[in-house]
């Protein structure tokens, strides 16, 4: 079947073939390490890295795989820092988690730190007598997850955000959702909560330190959204679905729920990276897709499904520059060190933080949309 040429498509940034020498280094180190190491890879990793993962998945899949890592000694996490931290808390004691490159952070996770969240909690609990349940997206530091554990809240991922918010409204009358305002808004709206029942708390409010609102608004709102976002997914704009539908009649729009509200409302399907992968995998030949997510995943889906038409939703490549920091060379370096008995880039979370965060993480692992 001949399908049109997809509109974008940027060069496959970071998908250069891995030099034979690096492939050999990884193979030798893995052979020496045997079953004692598990390599996990997030869907946004470049092909040159993801090909070496024992298991690939979305944030929830990878968290569950880390929890069930059995008797491995090391988990090498090809993803970003908050994912490695989560894995460290979920793996059995004694298992160490290694991030191949320490520069692989997440700009969204950096948009809420624990001091800001503690201030916000004082502002909000001072503004209302009603019970507020804090929910943190998994894209956040371990300290924020522990905060949720301490205050009767939970962690969610883009795979189970609806179930977690539903649960939160059984525990209390209001939800504080951080750090991603878009996932929070999209999820709550899907659950029937109106936009006029949600308010955005701005941690950078310079004036009264009240999050940019008259405090009485917090008493009137059901959902308080943190002013944070993903710098990759907010590149998709409200007119992109219209442009793609005009250009490719019949095309379906498939987006991640970190996209803006206006974009998600126009999409045919919205879901986590696993939902995106499975939706394309299960579609009939000839289906056309405009996908609003990180472009390494979009490019991979295009290569894996030549029987379908797969394009990015934006007319340019949306790359997660921090996921991109993980390279095959860095993976080879870390595996060789482990084979020599050296550990570098270990991601440790202290026991007290872990204890509280696990309360919120266990709730996350128990819930499904
Ligand atoms: P998923 O949970 O869908 O894998 O998303 C993680 C992420 O960082 C998306 O930006
Ligand atoms: Fe963070 Fe966005 Fe990158 Fe996901 S895509 S890791 S939310 S910066």
What's the CATH code of the domain at 274? Answer: 3.40.50.10800
Which pLDDT value is given to residue 14? 54
Structural domain for 286, as ranges: 233-312
Residues 71 and 171 in one domain: no
Does some domain include residue 13? Answer: no
Task: Check pocket membership of 299 for ligand 1, CB cut-off 6 A.
Answer: no
Q: 349 with 356: CB under 8 angstroms?
A: no
Residues 195 and 132 in one domain: yes
Task: Check pocket membership of 230 for ligand 1, CB cut-off 6 A.
Answer: yes
Residues 124 and 171 in one domain: yes
Whether residue 9 has pLDDT greater than 60: no
Does some domain include residue 360? Answer: no
Q: Which two tokens stand for residue 256?
A: 């991640």
> Residue of the nearest CA to atom 1 in ligand 2?
106
31-76 pLDDT tens trace? 999 999 999 999 999 999 999 999 999 999 999 999 999 889 999 9
Does some domain include residue 53? Answer: yes
Select from 294, 321, 325 the residue to mutate for testing ligand 2; criterion: most ligand atoms less than 8 Å from CB: 294
Residues 123 and 53 in one domain: no
Q: Which of 264, 292, 312 is the last residue of a domain?
A: 312
Q: 152 with 172: CB under 8 angstroms?
A: yes
Task: Check pocket membership of 157 for ligand 1, CB cut-off 6 A.
Answer: yes
Task: Check pocket membership of 158 for ligand 1, CB cut-off 6 A.
Answer: yes
Q: Which two tokens stand for residue 262?
A: 């206006």
Which pLDDT value is given to residue 10? 47
Number of domains in the chain: 3
Residues 91 and 195 in one domain: no
Q: Which of 182, 200, 230 is the last residue of a domain?
A: 230
* Cα 4 to middle of ligand 2, angstroms: 30
Which pLDDT value is given to residue 317? 86
Interval 152-165 mean pLDDT:
97
106 CA: nearest ligand 1 atom: 8
Does some domain include residue 317? Answer: no
What pTM does this model have? 0.95
Which residue in this structure is represented by tokens 């029937």? 192
């Amino acid at each position: 079947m001949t399908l049109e040429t997809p509109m974008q498509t940027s060069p496959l940034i970071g998908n250069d073939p891995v030099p034979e020498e690096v492939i050999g280094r990884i193979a030798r180190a893995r052979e020496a390490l045997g079953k004692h190491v598990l390599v996990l890879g997030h869907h946004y990793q470049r092909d040159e890295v993801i090909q070496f993962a024992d298991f690939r998945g979305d944030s929830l899949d990878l968290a569950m795989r880390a929890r069930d890592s059995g008797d491995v000694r090391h988990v090498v996490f090809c993803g970003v820092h908050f994912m490695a931290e989560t894995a460290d808390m979920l793996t059995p004691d004694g298992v160490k988690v290694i991030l191949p490159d320490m520069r692989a952070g997440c700009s969204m996770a950096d948009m809420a730190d624990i001091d800001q969240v503690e201030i916000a909690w004082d502002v909000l609990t001072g503004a209302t007598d009603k019970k507020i349940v804090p929910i943190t997206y998994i894209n956040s530091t371990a300290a924020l997850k522990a905060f949720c554990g301490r205050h009767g809240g939970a962690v969610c991922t883009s795979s189970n955000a609806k179930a977690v918010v539903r649960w939160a409204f059984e525990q209390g009358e209001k939800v504080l959702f951080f750090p991603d305002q878009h996932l929070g808004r999209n999820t709550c709206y899907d659950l029937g909560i109106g936009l006029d029942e949600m308010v955005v708390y701005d941690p950078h409010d310079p004036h009264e330190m009240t999050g940019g609102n008259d405090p009485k608004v917090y008493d009137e709102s059901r959902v308080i959204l943190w002013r944070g976002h993903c710098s990759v997914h907010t590149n998709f704009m409200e007119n992109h679905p219209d442009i793609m539908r005009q250009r490719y009649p019949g095309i379906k729009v498939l987006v991640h729920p970190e996209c803006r509200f206006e974009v998600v409302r126009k999409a045919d399907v919205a879901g986590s990276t696993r939902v995106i992968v499975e939706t394309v995998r299960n579609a009939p030949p000839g289906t056309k897709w405009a996908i609003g997510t990180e472009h390494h995943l979009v490019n991979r889906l295009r290569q894996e499904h030549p029987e379908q038409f797969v394009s990015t939703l934006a007319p340019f490549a949306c790359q997660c520059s921090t996921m991109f920091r993980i390279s095959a060379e860095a993976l080879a370096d870390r595996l060789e060190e482990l084979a020599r008995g050296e550990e570098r880039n270990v991601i440790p979370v202290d026991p007290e933080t872990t204890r509280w965060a696990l309360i919120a993480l266990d709730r996350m692992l128990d819930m499904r949309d």
